[in-house]
Amino acid sequence: MVAALPHPQRCSRFTPSHDVSHRQSQIGRALMAILLAHVLEVCMNSRERVLLALDHKEPDRVPIDFGGLVTSMHHVAYRRLLEHLGMPSEPVQILDTFQQIVDPASEIKEMFHVDVVGLFPHSGSNYEFELDEETDSFVDEWGVVYQRPPGGFWYDLADAPLKEGTIEELEAFQFPDPRDPARVEGLREEARRLLEETDKAVMIHAPIGGVYEQSYWVRGLENLYRDMACNKPYVEALAERILEWLLDFWDLILEEVGPYVHIVELSDDLGSQYGPLFSPDLYREIYKPRHRRLTELIHSKTEAKVFLHCCGSIYWALPDIIESGIDIINPVQVSAKDMDTDRLKREFGRDIVFWGGGADSTRVLPFGTPEEVKDEARRRIEHLAPGGGFVFGTIHNIQAEVPPENVVALFEAAYECGHYPIGS
Q: Which of residues 24-53 bind another protein (CB under 8 A)?
A: none
Beta strands in 206-352 (DSSP E): 263-267, 305-309, 328-330
Size of the site for another protein (CB under 8 A): 31
Q: Within 13 Å and on the Cβ side, how many CA atoms surround 37?
A: 19
Q: What is the 3-state secondary structure (H, E, C) of 316-355?
A: HHHHHHHHCCCCEEECCCCCCCCCCHHHHHHHHCCCCEEE
Residues 6+ apart with CB under 8 A from 347: 318
Q: Within 13 Å and on the Cβ side, how many CA atoms surround 92?
A: 23
Contact flag: residue 324 with another protein (CB under 8 A): no
Binding another protein (rule: CB under 8 A), the pick from 33, 161, 272, 299 is 272
Binding another protein (rule: CB under 8 A), the pick from 358, 366, 368, 404 is 366
Shortest Å, Cβ 334 to another protein: 13
Shortest Å, Cβ 362 to another protein: 4
- State the Cα–Cα distance between residues 390 and 52, nearest whole angstrom: 10
Contact flag: residue 400 with another protein (CB under 8 A): yes
Binding another protein (rule: CB under 8 A), the pick from 98, 120, 225, 415 is 225
Shortest Å, Cβ 277 to another protein: 6
Binding another protein (rule: CB under 8 A), the pick from 221, 237, 247, 322 is 221
- State the Cα–Cα distance between residues 406 and 372, nearest whole angstrom: 9
Binding another protein (rule: CB under 8 A), the pick from 184, 228, 298, 377 is 228
Contact flag: residue 277 with another protein (CB under 8 A): yes
Shortest Å, Cβ 336 to another protein: 9
Binding another protein (rule: CB under 8 A), the pick from 124, 161, 275, 386 is 275
Q: Which is nearer to another protein, 107 or 159 (CB)?
A: 159
Contact flag: residue 98 with another protein (CB under 8 A): no
Preceding peptide of 331 cis, ω within 30°: yes
**Separation in Å, CA 184 to CA 119, 121, 252:** 11, 6, 8
Q: Which is nearer to another protein, 71 or 295 (CB)?
A: 71
Binding another protein (rule: CB under 8 A), the pick from 194, 399, 403, 409 is 399
Binding another protein (rule: CB under 8 A), the pick from 39, 229, 255, 340 is 229
Contact flag: residue 21 with another protein (CB under 8 A): no
Shortest Å, Cβ 76 to another protein: 9
Shortest Å, Cβ 356 to another protein: 16
Contact flag: residue 230 with another protein (CB under 8 A): yes
Contact flag: residue 300 with another protein (CB under 8 A): no
- State the Cα–Cα distance between residues 66 and 68, nearest whole angstrom: 6
Burial class (CB in 10 A: 0-12, 13-18, 19+), 267: buried
Preceding peptide of 104 cis, ω within 30°: no
Q: Which is nearer to another protein, 74 or 383 (CB)?
A: 74
Cβ count near 386 (within 10 Å): 16
- State the Cα–Cα distance between residues 87 and 83, nearest whole angstrom: 6
The pattern of x and - marking residues 145 through 174 that bind another protein according to CB under 8 A reads --x-xxxxx--x-x----------------
Contact flag: residue 233 with another protein (CB under 8 A): no
Look at residues 252, 267, 260, 265 and name the one whose alpha carbon lies nearest to residue 302.
260
Shortest Å, Cβ 75 to another protein: 12
Phi, psi values for residue 95, rounded to 5°: -85, -35
Shortest Å, Cβ 26 to another protein: 40
Q: Which is nearer to another protein, 46 or 99 (CB)?
A: 99
Q: Which is nearer to another protein, 202 or 407 (CB)?
A: 407
Stretch that binds another protein, among 130-138, 195-203, 379-387, 397-405 (CB under 8 A): 397-405
Distance, CA of 296 to chain centre: 20
- State the Cα–Cα distance between residues 362 and 394, nearest whole angstrom: 11
Phi, psi values for residue 291, rounded to 5°: -60, -40
Binding another protein (rule: CB under 8 A), the pick from 159, 303, 371, 401 is 401
Look at residues 324, 200, 182 and name the one whose alpha carbon lies nearest to residue 253.
182
- By CB under 8 A, name the binding residues for another protein: 74, 147, 149-153, 156, 158, 221-222, 225-226, 228-230, 272-279, 361-363, 366, 399-401
